[in-house]
Amino acid sequence: MQDGIILIDKPAQMTSFGVVARIRRVLSKQQGKKVKVGHTGTLDPFATGLMIIVFGKECKNASNYSKLDKIYEATIRLGQSSTTGDTEGEISDISDKIPSKTEIDAAIEKFKGEITQYPPIYSAIKINGKRAYQLARDGKTVEMPARQINIYSLDVINYSYPNLKIRVHVSSGTYIRTLAEDIGGELGVGGYCTELRRISIADWDISQAKTLTSMGILD
């Protein structure tokens, strides 16, 4: 393989850059020279699922892949909040109220279609040349610019309090951690994302992806 893409099912507790580094080592060893490798959109370390890895001359087209729509499955824990919107942050109890299924359905309806979203401060977005998460970790106040996103569909897969599992089809640039927090806020009980899995990017599906184990990269 000289140029192209590889579909990878990213494991949990690994950064997207870690995936790229491992793929680069394998391809470089196979080809006997250093191979240029990149990704087309990060997944948080706690998240799993589909990544499109580009290599060789295809790296110049990485931005085209990053603009594609995506589908995720996510589990939201209600009643609590996290400083990072996921399992890696500081967790706080917010409310012991148990929302009804009717209240859940009414809340998620408000997030369908074109909406305004404020990305999380713990993200890789650059603010005045620095990553937002670096500023946040330094204790600095971070004002994230709003962005318009599109949520094409948002469905409840399962609800067993405090866990709400959803499936969501979104435009590029959507943060599912923020969506989890916003749904919890709409319900008045708080919420954060405990599980996140990207299952498709445009017409590419997770069923087509290789694991790092199957490639001999992880034991």
Q: Which two tokens stand for residue 172?
A: 């590029």
Catalytically annotated residue among 3, 9, 44, 203: 44
CB 94 within 8 A of CB 82: no
Is 182 considered catalytic here? no
SS3 per-residue string spanning the chain? CCCEEEEEEECCCCCHHHHHHHHHHHHHHHHCCCCCEEECCCCCCCCEEEEEEEEHHHHHHHHHHHCCCEEEEEEEEECEEECCCCCCCCEEECCCCCCCHHHHHHHHHCCCEEEEECCCCCCCCEECCEEHHHHHHCCCCCCCCCEEEEEEEEEEEEEECCEEEEEEEECCCCCHHHHHHHHHHHHCCCEEEEEEEEEEECCEEHHHCECCCCCCCCC
CA distances to 103, 158, 174, 184 from 187, rounded to whole Å, are 7, 17, 20, 5
Residues present in the chain in total: 219
Active site residues: 44
